[in-house]
Structure 1
Amino acid sequence: MHQRERSDVTVSRCVLAVLKEKVIPVPQFVENFLPTVIKYLDHDDEAVVAMWSTTLIEAIPLLPVDVLQEHVAPVAIQRSQPTRPVNQRINSCSVLGELALQYEPPLLKKDLLPVCLSLCQDESLEVRSAICTQLEKVIKQLKGDSFKTTLGPSLVELGSDEAIRVKEAAFVSAVNILGVVETDDVVTTLIPLLKRIIQYGFTSDDNILLPIASRYGEMCLGIKDITDEKQTFVKYFISIASVGLPQSWKKGCVMSDSDYQIKFPSMLADQAVLCRQAAAANLPAIFSFCEGDNESINGLLPVLDSLCSDPSAMVRKTISAGFSQIATFLGSNNPSIRINFIKILNDDAEEVLDGLIPQLNMLISMLTQNEFFNPKMEISLISELNPALLKCEGLVSTSHNWRLYCTFLSQIRILADILAPEALHADYTRLLLSRIHQTRTVPIRSALIDTILFFLRRTPIPEHRMKVIETIIQDFCRSTNFYNRIFYLRSCHSLLSMFSMAFFKKYFFSPTLLMIDDAVPNIRWALMMLLPKLNYLAEHPPDEDLKKQLEAVRIKLNSDKDREIARVMGSDVGISQEEDLKCFEGDQEKFEEETKLGEYETLESQSTKQVTGSRIPRSPSANSSLVSANKAVLRRKPSEHASSKTMEDGSQKEVAKEKNNSVPTENVNKLAGKTFKRAIPISRTSKSRSAPSSRQGSFKDKRMSLDEIDMNKNIETSASMDLLKNLRSYLVLSHVSTSLLGPPLAGRSQTQANYLLVGAVR
């Protein structure tokens, strides 16, 4: 674009903005700006004329009728004269059409209608085509009046024009006014006109079939309750939907009647694909057009099969996008729906699946209302759906379209109500759990865990539920990878939303709090953000043990070595206790649903097995550090092994004693009248598996990842000696272990008992 053109574009937009924003009164605009706009309509540069014509057309609805009648209409009429250049006459057609929408019918008939009829006889086909597209505005403003006497004959004459562009414009205008003119005029004038234009495409030039195919569905719906020639229009459509295909692909789309066969095919291959694509987009409307005519519907079924198998992926994508509408009309009992649904679901083209996947939930739900895909009726039908869905999942999971995969995951949740629990767990839950480790895209991971939790909520088999819960805790909560741990904390919001408070307390409350001593500040920050919801859990109903655990977490966060965390915890505002707690709505209903699955039949035994079994104290003291007592168990990496002896029940047993890397810290606590110093045992991952840095920069208080922290340096010898002295007090403080750690230490190894004791001493 030249500098002159860019300046004209800017000026024209500014002039229009002055009128739209009412910067100045309309009289001043008419006096100062409107003459400039009209002046540029006679510019030598066609691009400049086009820009200012667009400005004038957009300004017409904003101006009073008297201004239009005095200043704009005379210019448009003058520029429409046969002596004017073609481009001026074409621009005047657009201005006249916009003026017609602002004029009252009597004034329109008097001033503008004669000019429009004169342009319909113009010698230039471009002018005739331009005025033909504007006739629908004139007809709509006159509300069908004068159609029989003036406008109708003119439109019919334009439809019989020798130029394809004029015929196309006449077809579009006739379709657009089907709901405006009277029914008698539609039957006697418009329907014969539409049929003649369609027949012209079959007998003379098939290139006109592309614009016809684009508006065919709208045309059929406009004459649905008027015409008695439905089968005729359906047969035309069947031929249009198979244009450009070889005979082997047409299957049942070949018309035996020569009236519905294209006599002189000349359409290019690309145009033929666009024609079939337009037919695919209009197929739902054609099915609706044939409502009540079983013969016509049966004739369209081969068209559906053909379009679903079309060699062009764009055609298949278009038909897949409207498949739910077709299924709604035909009903899920129609075998063609099931066959073509599985066919599209097995398609190898991602763009085809992109059209179908957003409708998966509705289609599967619709099909399960009858015998298809109903496991109580026939297992073989389920076997068709399952492999197709797994193939589709494999394709979209490896594509670069993460939004499509997230949509797929949200759509397949309905499988929890269809597939057998064993099949759901084996084919989908385990697969999706593995997918989380194969991607780093956050939206995909969030969609995966949400779908897994949705399946978990509807899993009636206790073993499967426990396996999923254990996997979530072990692979994410206790992972050595930073990204997995932060992902777990973010997923806690979904856990709290989908499950009852009792469920979260039973399985996830204590493992979540155990992350308080994580070496990465981002983890502790995310845990701090969860405190309002965790506090709500502890208060409803009040649970003293959970409150003590939360208090221990708050104490550690208040003195956290990360200055930002300590600042937020120590500030006057702190963590807002008014955080959105909508996730707890409907908790009673969630609890009842979980109870029906037998979740709380053996609550105490399951809690002991799953929570205490993970070495989490059932009743921790508020003075004990949750992670100090258990962190070596959560992420401990043994480096050396030694043997030691311990006395249990009067017998002496050999146990392994693990020697862990530890960071000595001094934490003085007065307990039983004594002061102890302890070293917190924290094991680290090897450098090859350490998590990457979560933040980068040169800030002094930046958050560091695991591989940026060397927890084994600067070990103080004095602190290590103090630890040994403290451990010698084991027998003296054995009664302390019972009071602080809940159950006795019987059944634990000497090493485990030592670590638990150190946490208690703190």
Structure 2
Amino acid sequence: MAATSEDDSLYPIAVLIDELRNEDVQLRLNSIKKLSTIALALGVERTRAELIPFLTDTIEDEDEVLWALAEQLGNFIPLVGGPEFASCLLPPLENLATVEETVVREKATESLRMIAVDHSPADIEKHFAPLVKRLSQGDWFTSRTSACGLYAACYPHVSVALKTELRMMFKCLCTDDTPMVRRAAASKIGEFAKAVEMEHLKGEVIPLFNSLANDEQFSQDSVRLLAVEAGITIAGLLTESDIETLLLPMFRSAASDKSWRVRFMIADKFIELQRAVGPTITKNHLVFHFSGLLKDVEAEVRASAANKIKEFCTNLPDDIQEAVIMPNILPAVKELVCDTNQHVKAALASVIMGLSPIMGKDNTIQHLLPLFLILLKDEHSDVRLNIISNLDSVNKVIGIHQLSQSLLPAIVELAEDPKWRVRLAIIEHMPLLAEQLGVEFFDEKLNSLCMSWLVDGVFAIRSAATSNLKKLVSIFGLEWAQNTVITKVLSMARDPNYLHRMTTLFAINVLAEVCPPDVISKFMVPVISNLAADAVPNVRFNVAKTMALIVPSLDAQTVEFQIKPCLSKLYDDEDMDVKYFAHEALVLCH
């Protein structure tokens, strides 16, 4: 029986009601995700009159469904008729901003802030500000925490009288008895500070901020650590003299807070703080506290501060860098090199090389090189790895001669490190060292190392070693390759270990890219052809793959009389993989 037009008009809502009552969470979630489609079907008037009230009255579901609803509503303004009707979206979002689950409230707050942008000042004052008031005065803490994130969105657009009222309500939130509300206020006071006028910032907001930064009620260090980031935001709004007067005591207090989490937070945000307060306050006050954080009793704090050393020193004005670093930072760095915690040393090792360009050649040789050597010989592989990965920055400052004399012995020792990732890091830096050392020094000190990596027990090392050869040939030239590398590589084709014979093929694959056709034909093709009769199928099908790679580089005669006969034999091989790759290579030959 055909449905009536009235039934048709009710269909989208009826279906949505049925789906939202279904026991299957996924079905309910899917129905929420297609709200925009339903709204388009209804039209703007029915969406405002039917869909939005329905959603307002049915805020009881799984958190995942409610989160999706909060997200959808943030993009609903075009579907309700545009900005002039944006206020109709406030009721369902207000309800979502009061639920128990944090992520739902946060998403609802985010959507409310998005919608606030499209409200006119009159609508902000008529609809949005009253919502903020209701949430701020809610009996349950969840609504009050959500309110904290909405003040900055509406404050700039309301009357002077309402602004005064909003500041008073925000003050109540900052002094709320519930720690969760004070935490929310501490996390949002920075953005609220950006919205208020300067006179009220200094007279009202900063005192509130300082009370949060010194929050001792119920030992809530979580409030104090959130205040650190807000303080940095506020510092960016003030002059240096105002920062020194109004905020500096709080930063000092945070740097020596009894809670390690607060000290960790300020260590983690120290570079942002440094930029916010400017060079004068940094030199006169922050240097002392940064040095203190580098010596903190908690390893997590020391590691966080150590990770900022290079950037902190780089941001210092050029004319005071040495005067600040030598007496204040360097002594702390020397202590950290011998720290008992490996994570602290690893953090230091990742940045200490970056001090060389700042401190200059003489200071690097005198003060930093001994520290590099200690870290290069550290028992923990991640510490050694971090040092190796930043060798180029030191080389640019002190030169390869000094580097080779002081650090090369330790680098050679690390080339045989038990940890394969350390050996891999050395391989990756070998082309850089080779280019700086020159061919004679390289052949004398490092060539044998490069060849030994080709027979390493770890495939990743052997693979990296073959790629390394290609880079070395590009640096030292073809003549060096023929005299030093190619002969040694090809001799591995007779090695009893089939993995080493395969490495020969892998090395040929990369060397063929930088060698001329005559070298490939004369030296490499005979070796590849001999390996085609290898007893191990893995070697034979890699022969076929190698031939496929080098065919484009060979002349027609070599392909016809050496490559194709060899591949034809492999095509008749009993191993299916060998047959397959031989066929692929033969296709290329034709």
- Please say if 1:240 is aligned against 2:212: yes
Q: Which residue of 2 aligns with 1:142?
A: 119
Give unmatched runs, 5+ long, in structure 1: 1-29, 245-266, 581-698, 703-762
How far apart in 1 are the matches of 2:86 and 2:400? Answer: 78
User: Where does residue 329 of structure 1 map in the other structure?
Assistant: 276
Please name the residue that 1:213 is paired with. Answer: 186
1:575, distance to aligned residue in structure 2 (A): 3.3
1:340 aligned counterpart, secondary structure: helix
Q: 2:352 aligns with which of 408, 412, 421?
A: 412
Distance 1:552 1:321, change over 3 A: same
CA drift of 1:507 comes to 1.8
Could you say what secondary structure the match of 1:234 adopts?
helix
Answer whether contact 2:279 2:316 (CA < 8 A) is retained: yes
Classify the secondary structure of the residue corresponding to 1:459. helix
1:363 Cα offset (Å): 0.7
* Conserved 8 A contact 1:65-1:102: no
How large is the RMSD of aligned CA atoms in angstroms? 4.7
Rounded Cα–Cα distance in structure 2 between residues aligned with 1:209 and 1:153? 21
1:305 deviates by 0.5
Q: Alpha-carbon deviations, 1:700-721, whole Å to 9, x = none?
A: 999xxxxxxxxxxxxxxxxxxx
From 490, 496, 503, the equivalent of 2:437 is: 503
Match of 1:175 among 152, 164, 168: 152
Q: Which has the larger radius of gyration?
A: 1
Match of 2:50? Answer: 74
Aligned-residue offset at 1:315: 1.0
Q: How do residues 561-640 of structure 1 correspond to structure 2 at under 5 angstroms?
A: 561-567=496-502, 569=504, 574-578=509-513
State whether residues 287 and 328 of structure 2, in contact with CA within 8 Å, keep that contact through their aligned partners in structure 1: no
Q: Is the 8 A contact 2:116 2:154 kept in 1?
A: yes
| Structure 1 position 236, deviation (Å) | 1.4
Q: What letter is aligned with 1:41? A: L
Please give the per-residue CA displacement for 1:89-135, whole angstroms capped at 9, x wherever unaligned.
Answer: x9999959945742449847998856956998x9x9869x9899575
Task: Determine the C-alpha separation between the residues in 1 that align with 2:427 and 2:98.
Answer: 68
Distance 1:72 1:97, change over 3 A: farther
2:236 paired residue among 258, 279, 288: 288
Question: 1:283 is aligned with what amino acid?
Answer: G
Does the 8 A contact of 2:55 with 2:92 survive in 1? no
Cα deviation code 1:173-230 (max 9, x no counterpart): 222344xx63xx16442453133331465487776322211111111112256x5442
Q: Is the alpha carbon distance of 1:292 and 1:53 closer, same or farther for their aligned partners in structure 2, counting shifts above 3 Å? A: farther
**Corresponding residue for 1:746?**
none
Relative to structure 1, the CA distance from residue 556 to residue 476 in structure 2 (aligned partners, 3 Å threshold; closer, same or farther) is farther
8 A contact 2:129–2:154 mirrored in 1: no
Shift of 1:389: 1.3
Give the CA deviation at 1:412: 1.6
* TM-score normalised by L of structure 1: 0.54
CA distance in 1 between counterparts of 2:347 and 2:327 reads 23
Q: 1:60 and 2:60 equivalent?
A: no
Q: Which residue of 2 aligns with 1:38?
A: 17
Q: Do 1:489 and 1:512's aligned partners in 2 also have CA atoms closer than 8 Å?
A: no
* Letter of the 2:248 counterpart: L
CA distance change for structure 1 residues 154 and 326 in 2, over 3 Å: closer, same or farther?
closer
**Pair 1:553–1:489, CA change in 2 (3 A):** farther
Whether the 8 Å contact between 1:210 and 1:275 is mirrored in structure 2 is yes
Task: Write out aligned runs for 1:155-554 (5 A).
Answer: 155-156=132-133, 158-161=135-138, 164-178=141-155, 182=157, 185=158, 187-199=160-172, 201-202=174-175, 208-223=181-196, 228-244=200-216, 267-269=217-219, 272-289=220-237, 291-292=238-239, 294-334=241-281, 335-367=284-316, 369-371=318-320, 373-374=321-322, 377=323, 382-395=326-339, 398-399=341-342, 401=343, 405-419=345-359, 424-425=364-365, 427-439=367-379, 441=381, 444-452=383-391, 454-459=393-398, 465-473=404-412, 475=413, 483=418, 491-497=426-432, 499=433, 501=435, 503-515=437-449, 521-522=455-456, 525=462, 528-539=466-477, 547-554=482-489
Counterpart-to-counterpart distance in 2, 1:486 and 1:173: 49
Q: CA shift at 1:55, angstroms?
A: 3.9
Number of the residue aligned with 2:549: none
Relative to structure 1, the CA distance from residue 559 to residue 186 in structure 2 (aligned partners, 3 Å threshold; closer, same or farther) is farther
Distance 1:388 1:58 in 2: 55
- What displacement does 1:152 show? 3.4
8 Å Cα contact 2:375/2:383 also seen in 1: no
Q: CA deviation at 1:384?
A: 2.4
Query: CA contact under 8 A between 2:334 and 2:371: conserved in structure 1?
Result: no
Cα distance in structure 2, aligned partners of 1:573 and 1:464 = 32
Letter in 1 for 2:215: V
The one-letter code of the counterpart of 2:310 is N
Partner of 2:438: helix, strand, or coil? helix
Q: In 2, are the aligned partners of 1:456 and 1:468 still within 8 Å (CA)?
A: no
Tell me the SS of whatever aligns to 2:472.
Answer: helix
Partner of 1:256: none
**How many angstroms apart in 2 are the aligned matches of 1:103 and 1:467?**
67
Residues 587-607 of structure 1, C-alpha deviations (whole Å, 9 max, x = no match): xxxxxxxxxxxxxxxxxxxxx
Give the match for residue 525 of structure 2. Answer: none
Kindly provide the CA deviation profile for residues 20-74 of structure 1, in whole angstroms up to 9, marking residues without a partner as x.
xxxxxxxxxx99998555314346x7xx67x666544432245552336558962
Conserved 8 A contact 2:310-2:352? yes
- Aligned residues with identical type, % of pairs: 13
> In structure 1, how many angstroms separate the alpha carbons of the residues matched to 2:507 and 2:391?
39
Q: Is the 8 A contact 2:116 2:153 kept in 1?
A: no
CA deviation after TM superposition for structure 1 residue 164, in Å: 4.5
In structure 1, how many angstroms separate the alpha carbons of the residues matched to 2:400 and 2:507?
A: 48
Residues 505/514 of structure 1: CA separation in 2 closer, same or farther (3 Å cut)? same
| Pair 1:490–1:578, CA change in 2 (3 A) | farther
Q: CA deviation at 1:547?
A: 4.2
For normalisation by structure 2, the TM-score amounts to: 0.68
Where do 5+ consecutive residues of structure 2 fail to align? 1-8, 516-535, 540-590
Mean CA deviation greater in 305-314 or 169-178: 169-178
Amino acid at match of 2:239: G
- State the Cα deviation string for residues 114-163 of structure 1 (Å, max 9, x = none): 6956998x9x9869x98995755554343445233444345445544555
Shift of 1:307: 0.4
Amino acid at match of 2:338: G
Distance in 2, Cα, partners of 1:570 & 1:137: 60
For 1:160 and 1:472, locate their aligned partners in 2 and report how far apart those are by CA, in whole Å.
66
Distance 1:97 1:422 in 2: 58
Counterparts in 2 of 1:461 and 1:419: CA distance versus 1, 3 Å: farther
Where 1:268 maps in the other structure, the secondary structure is helix
Give the distance between the partners of 1:486 and 1:221, measured in 2 at CA. Answer: 48
| Equivalent runs, 1:644-655 vs 2, <5 Å | none
Query: For residue 398 of structure 1, what is the amino acid of its counterpart?
Result: N
How many angstroms apart in 1 are the aligned matches of 2:252 and 2:505? Answer: 68
Write the distance in 2 (CA, Å) between the matches of 1:534 and 1:211. Answer: 58
- Which whole-Å CA distance do the structure 2 matches of 1:451 and 1:115 have between them? 54
Structure 1 CA distance, aligned partners of 2:334 and 2:514? 40
Post-superposition shift, 1:282?
Answer: 1.2
Using a 3 Å threshold, how does the CA distance of structure 1 residues 142 and 512 change in structure 2: closer, same or farther? same
Find the aligned partners of 1:520 and 1:92 in 2 and give their Cα distance: 58
Bigger RCO (CA 8 Å, 6+ sep): 1
Shift of 1:510: 3.5
**Counterpart-to-counterpart distance in 1, 2:87 and 2:402:** 80
